[in-house]
Chains A and B, each alone.
Chain A
């Protein structure tokens, strides 16, 4: 790092900090100023409008940098900055037009030109310059000449009377500071520094040879002005040291802290902070002198020494000099000091954490009370979170452990001193009560946020660990601790927190519960079935069921939550949990009552992922309960897209880069659900395909000749087609092949083969064993296969039977006669099967009612003619010039269709009823003719 750069950036940060400050304070000063100095030209410039203010701040910053560069004769830098300045000035053009050219700008132009001329004439100096600088010098000189031509009059005016404008400035500053005490910090700062510059400049202009010296002098001056400023800074720090990340004097105080630390180390004198600060100017002077020769060592050296000091920090007394009375105030100051370095470039975060730990130890050692300890802990945890600058990166295991420990300790403290410590985000820094006294401690900070953050970190860690490694298992073991912490905090919050906070922590708890299957409760419910109720109650009271917990937490959230998001998440988790534990009706009712399906598309992606997970779980639950249709419907959306993996947040699909750039990919990666929460995709697909098979095969058989039959499940058909395209049909290997093979068997009504394809060793290990109640599901499945095979068989082969005995059927499909009877009756009622039951002989008598192919054809023709007529009518509409007309007509047409549909059913009794569609068209046409 070059010394020049270092100084440049230093002053820049200084300036920017004051710039940040001036904006909010401006309105207060504006009013008074305009009253006091309304006719002053300088003042009109000073009238603060935020745009103007910003522009001018920018300009002054650049000017400062240029002046610094001038001081050190860095022409290259000077040129660069000057170009920037010109650009910035151009940008603020419209403001300048309004306000006139700011005098400080003119001043710089004049000074710069003078300075350049001097340098130009100083031949010797020029020779010494390196090539870059010399080149920059000549360029800059030409540039400024050209540029200054535009401002000749102003510059001339300034040169005539340089003091006046400077005085104006000076005059203004005191008034400024007088007018509002708030602004004096930065205002004074600016005033002083500009003064010093002004004083220095004429000097520099007159005596070029002494420039170096004067630069030194100005360095001193500026450092002293810095010091003044620091005083104020410190003052403000003690007043509101709470604004941890306040921009104010950040850069400076960073270096200050560094300097201070270093000094405490190498100077073993008893040093109170005030003392140290008094020392500092001298110190700085000395440093500056050194810097003349060594160049740029100032900051660097400081840093190095601090780093060297870090291990020393372990020796606690070093933290505070020997003999210092360690009390709360001192520790707090120290803490603030350490914290000020937070978030800065080049801050050693690990060292910071160490320091904080050391401080905590000191505080504990000196019995400063729990309040301070809590405060320090808060900050340690925050620093731990800060350790990774990148949002996407995850914590290192040791950091994570430390973090967990810290939070645990923090919670310990909080629990131990339940009534003595108040914590909260909205306790102001100055109303904190950290000292040991009769009053309870008041500490600023929010445990909840910390724990939430911890939870997120945990998720991140899980996301970033290879799910098939031992490491993942190890990491997953921490889940217990995380849950423990959440639980403890929950207990704490229930006593202390606001409803809002309780909702938040409840949601955390829910998030850790909803996806886990409660084996204990499951076993209990199985085991206790025979036992008496009282025992059951007893058992339940021992350890709460996760279901009970979920219920309690969710209901609280439903009642109390005000943010929609938490409620939505809670509902979804609740449904998920119900579904997971096969409480289908509760889950379904909750889903329907919440009306989430209607507006879930407006939710943010993580909630949508949760919704998808819930729907899938719901579908699987329905399947387990034997509600094949419901299962299919629930899974349809997810499966039909073919992106189940992505929709469930369980992985990214390979896609080309045009659809998703790296940035999006990162975001999507962050949304992934950790592996241990994944829903088995193969299980999901299998459930979907099997339910599709159970629905689709009978349907296909029933509508074999129907030209307009629709597919129930596209995906299933796709699988079937893939199966057909196979050149060689070997025994099925994958899950899909099994389902396809089973479907083929089912098509023939061969339920035994179908059964053996769906339920066998392979499928058991792949899919069915993943269910908690494997046996029951399998039994249900067999039953369904038998029933649907029977239906398929009847659809397919009823045409070759005149009559068939139900006994035979029941033997064929191994179903009881009543079941067969009920299935056939249902089919007859639904007019799927044209037959009647002969009760005495227990036979089904088939009716021959299928239309011949000629009739089918006629129906198709009728349909086509219907569409032809419709098209024709549109042409007709156009001819009449009724543009929007046919939409209306369409509706009317629809109505007519309905009428004729009824008529069709009335007219066409008997076997053709399933073909109503065709007749409907015909009827439509007839009616049209009669209508027109």
Chain B
């Protein structure tokens, strides 16, 4: 159960506001420590934005440097994960999987915080923490992404990530400040979340969803050809074996020595199976989009009904 300080949240938001624009993604490191069964995230720092001209920039060096500096000022310096911003909920990707795996592999309790600035802009903070499921960890460890491997692990796109609930804990002083601010703020500010316009957001989501669906189709076609090739080859192999058997039987009846066994696997190289992990990821992503759209539309429908009722009332 990660507990995060508002300072962390604000810092992440600030980082995005300053550096991330549009579909660009910002990333950073989370610091904190484990207390009982909670993971407390107490601080964070951003990765600097890469530019083309400083290619020799050493990230690890930078992180170590940063952590050392933080220790000097007596801040928790234990690495407990990382954060990333997202664009319309698109974060399930190979890159994320890989880095989260390496984090989780090295530091057991690591999480990834996903911050969705667009949803946040609509009026409700969207911050989610994810971890890889133990099953997925195993698969990643073995690097076995073949269809068989995935089948054996019995893993679906639903079981790739587990969401960890987050509690944001303010210090009491900040709570007081918040109350005061809320009192002062105008009505209009509060009603940000009642915005009725929806099509823009939906369109974007659909666009992204469509792209993923296309990818998915392609992957399926690839897999399809693969399995067809495989079965064809299996048949050939079978035929070959039968022929060989018959021949040997004949030779035996003639009293000749049987033909030497050749290496069948050499003769029939099985086609390269396409890695299925990508497909899984895409499925996960699609699932994610769908959840988003569903959530969004249900909220919007509520708003629309409300507006209708209001109109009727007036």
Chain A residues packing against B (C-beta within 8 Å): 852-854, 857-858, 860-861, 864-865, 867-868, 871-872, 874-875, 878-879, 881, 883
Identify the closest chain B residue to A858 (Cβ): B206
A-side contacts of B228, CB under 8 Å: 878
Distance (whole angstroms) from the CB of A924 to the closest CB of chain B: 15
With A and B bound together, what is the CA distance between A883 and B234 in angstroms? 13
Instruction: Please give, as numbers and ranges, the residues of chain B lying within 8 Å of A868 by CB-CB distance.
Output: 213, 216-217, 220
Are B227 and A860 closer than 8 Å at their CB atoms? no
Given A861-B213, A878-B231, are A871 and B220 also a contact pair (CB < 8 Å)? yes
**Contact assessment for B213 and A857 in the assembled complex, using a CB-CB cutoff below 8 Å:** no
Judging by beta carbons under 8 Å apart, are A861 and B224 in contact? no
Q: State which of B203, B214, B231 has its C-beta within 8 Å of the C-beta of A864.
A: B214
Extra 18 A-B pairs, beta carbons < 8 Å, given A857-B207, A874-B220? A852-B199, A853-B203, A857-B203, A858-B206, A860-B210, A861-B210, A864-B210, A864-B213, A864-B214, A864-B217, A867-B217, A868-B217, A871-B220, A871-B224, A872-B220, A875-B224, A878-B227, A879-B227
**CB-based nearest A residue for B219:** A871
**Bound: A174/B220 CA distance, A:** 89
By a CB distance below 8 angstroms, the chain B residues around A878 are: 224, 227-228, 231
- B276 CB, min distance to chain A CBs, angstroms: 12
Kindly list chain A residues whose C-beta atoms are within 8 Å of the C-beta of B199.
852-854
Interface string of B197-214 (1 = CB under 8 A from A): 001001100110110011
List the A side residues contacting B206 at CB < 8 Å: 854, 857-858, 861
Minimal beta-carbon separation of B201 from chain A (angstroms): 10
Indicate whether A871 sits within 8 Å of B207 (C-beta atoms), given known contacts A854-B199, A861-B213, A864-B213.
Answer: no
Bound together, the chains give a CA A878 to CA B213 distance in angstroms of 21
> With a CB–CB cut-off of 8 A, which chain B residues contact A867?
217
Closest CB in chain A relative to B292 CB, distance in Å: 14
Residue of A nearest to B201 (CB): A854
Please, could you name 6 A-B residue pairs with CB atoms under 8 Å apart, sorted by A? A852-B199, A857-B203, A858-B206, A861-B210, A865-B213, A875-B227
Q: Say yes or no for B221: interface residue by CB 8 A criterion.
A: yes
Q: How far is the CB of B217 from chain A (nearest CB, A)?
A: 5
Query: B145 interface residue, CB < 8 Å from A?
Result: no
Number of A-B residue pairs having CB atoms within 8 Å of each other in the complex: 45
Given the complex, which residues of B lie within 8 Å of A871, measured CB to CB? 217, 220-221, 224
A residues near B207, Cβ cutoff 8 Å: 857
Bound: A617/B97 CA distance, A: 67
Q: How far is the CA of A356 from the CA of B206 in the complex (A)?
A: 92
Query: Which chain B residue shows the least CB distance to A861?
Result: B210
B223 interfacial contact with A, CB 8 Å: yes
* Docked pose: A871 CA to B206 CA in angstroms: 21
> Is there contact, CB below 8 Å, between A854 and B213?
no
Q: Which residues of A contact B227 (CB under 8 A)?
A: 875, 878-879
B interface residues (Cβ-Cβ under 8 A, vs A): 199, 202-203, 206-207, 209-210, 213-214, 216-217, 220-221, 223-224, 227-228, 231
- The docked-state distance in angstroms from the alpha carbon of A861 to that of B203 is 11
Q: A864-B213, A865-B213 are in contact. Are A874 and B203 (CB under 8 A)?
A: no
Which residues of chain A are near B216, meaning CB under 8 Å?
Answer: 868
Nearest A residue (CB) for B228: A878
What B residues does A872 contact at CB under 8 A?
A: 220
A881 to B207, CA, bound (A): 36
Which B residues touch A881, using CB under 8 A?
231
Q: Kindly list chain A residues whose C-beta atoms are within 8 Å of the C-beta of B202.
A: 854
Within 8 Å by CB of B210, from A852, A853, A857, A879, lies A857
- Are A861 and B217 closer than 8 Å at their CB atoms? no
Task: Write out the residue numbers on chain B whose beta carbons fall within 8 Å of the beta carbon of A874.
Answer: 220, 224
Quick one: closest B residue to A865, CB to CB?
B213
The CA-CA distance from A857 to B199 in the complex, in Å, is 11
Residues on A with C-beta less than 8 A from B220 are 868, 871-872, 874-875
Alpha-carbon distance between A874 and B199 when the two chains are bound, in angstroms: 35
Which chain A residues lie closer than 8 Å to B210 at the CB level? Answer: 857, 860-861, 864
What's the minimum C-beta distance from B54 to chain A, rounded to whole angstroms? 40
Cα(A875)–Cα(B219), bound, Å: 11
Of all A-B residue pairs in the complex, the 9 with the closest CB atoms, nearest first, are A871-B220, A857-B206, A854-B199, A864-B213, A868-B217, A878-B227, A861-B210, A854-B203, A875-B224
State in angstroms the CA–CA spacing of A881 and B227 once bound together.
Answer: 11
A852, A860, A875, A881 — most chain B CB neighbours (10 Å): A875
Residues from chain A with a CB closer than 8 A to the CB of B231 are 878, 881, 883
Q: Chain A nearest CB: distance from B293 CB in Å?
A: 10
- How far apart are B40's CB and chain A's nearest CB, in angstroms? 42
A11 to chain B, nearest CB (A): 63
Q: Which residue of B lies closest to A868 (CB)?
A: B217
Nearest opposing residue in chain A for B210, CB measure = A861
- Which residues of B are found within 8 Å of A883, using beta-carbon distances? 231
In the bound complex, CA of A871 to CA of B218 (Å): 9
Question: Which of B203, B214, B223 interacts with A875 by CB under 8 Å?
Answer: B223
Complex CA gap A867/B220 in Å reads 11
Give min CB distance, A878 to chain B, whole Å.
5
CB closest chain-B residue, reference A881: B231
CB distance from A861 to the nearest CB of B (A): 5
By a CB distance below 8 angstroms, the chain A residues around B213 are 861, 864-865, 868
Chain B residues in 8 Å Cβ range of A854: 199, 202-203, 206
For the complex, give the distance between the alpha carbons of A871 and B214 in Å: 11
- In the complex, the answer to whether B223 meets A861 with C-beta atoms within 8 Å is no
Compute how far the CA of A860 lies from the CA of B224 in the bound complex, rounded to whole angstroms.
24
- Please, how many angstroms separate the alpha-carbon atoms of A852 and B197 in the complex? 14
- Distance A737 CA – B134 CA, assembled complex (angstroms): 68
- Beta-carbon nearest neighbor of A867 in chain B: B217
B147 CB, min distance to chain A CBs, angstroms: 11
A887 to chain B minimum Cβ distance, whole angstroms, is 13
Tell me the smallest distance from the CB of B219 to a CB of chain A, in Å.
Answer: 9
Most chain A beta carbons < 10 A, residue from B207, B216, B217, B228? B217
Q: Report how far A597 CA is from B83 CA in the complex, Å.
A: 69
**Chain B min CB distance to A890 (Å):** 14
Q: Measured between alpha carbons, how far is A868 from B219 in the docked complex, in Å?
A: 10
Q: Which residues of A contact B214 (CB under 8 A)?
A: 864
A860 contacts across to B, CB distance below 8 A: 210
Closest residue of chain A to B199 (Cβ to Cβ) is A854
Q: How far apart are A869's CB and chain B's nearest CB, in angstroms?
A: 10
Question: Using Cβ atoms and an 8 Å threshold, which residues of chain B touch A865?
Answer: 213
Q: How far is the CA of A854 from the CA of B200 in the complex (A)?
A: 8
For the complex, give the distance between the alpha carbons of A878 and B230 in Å.
10
A883 CB, min distance to chain B CBs, angstroms: 8
A905 CB to nearest chain B CB (Å)? 24
Determine how close the nearest CB of chain A comes to the CB of B239; give it in whole angstroms: 15
Interface centre among B203, B207, B209, B224 (most CB of A within 10 A): B224
A401 to chain B, nearest CB (A): 71
Closest Cβ neighbor of A874 among chain B residues: B224
**A855 to B, closest residue via Cβ:** B199
- How far is B217's CA from A868's CA once the two chains are assembled, in angstroms? 5
CA of A348 to CA of B187, assembled, Å: 117
A861 CB contacts on chain B under 8 angstroms: 206, 209-210, 213
The listed residue with most B CB atoms (<10 A of its CB), out of A861, A864, A865, is A864
* B232 and chain A: residue at smallest CB distance: A883
A303 shortest CB reach to chain B, Å: 74
The CA of A883 and the CA of B210, in the complex, are separated in Å by 30
A563 to B214 Cα, complex, angstroms: 57
Determine the chain B residues whose CB is within 8 A of the CB of A879 once the complex forms. 227
Nearest CB of A to B278, in Å:
15
Query: With A and B bound together, what is the CA distance between A874 and B227 in angstroms?
Result: 10
Distance between B295 CB and nearest chain A CB, rounded to angstroms: 17
Q: In the complex, A871 Cα to B213 Cα: how many Å?
A: 12
Instruction: Report the minimum CB–CB distance from A731 to chain B (whole Å).
Output: 42
C-alpha spacing A875/B220, complex, angstroms: 8
Chain B residue numbers with a CB within 8 Å of A857 are 203, 206-207, 210
Chain B residue contacts of A858, Cβ below 8 A: 206
Among B216, B220, B223, residue most surrounded by chain A Cβ atoms (within 10 Å):
B220
Provide the bound-state CA to CA distance between A139 and B24, in Å.
92
A854 CA / B221 CA spacing, docked (Å): 28
CB-CB under 8 A from B224, the residues of chain A are 871, 874-875, 878
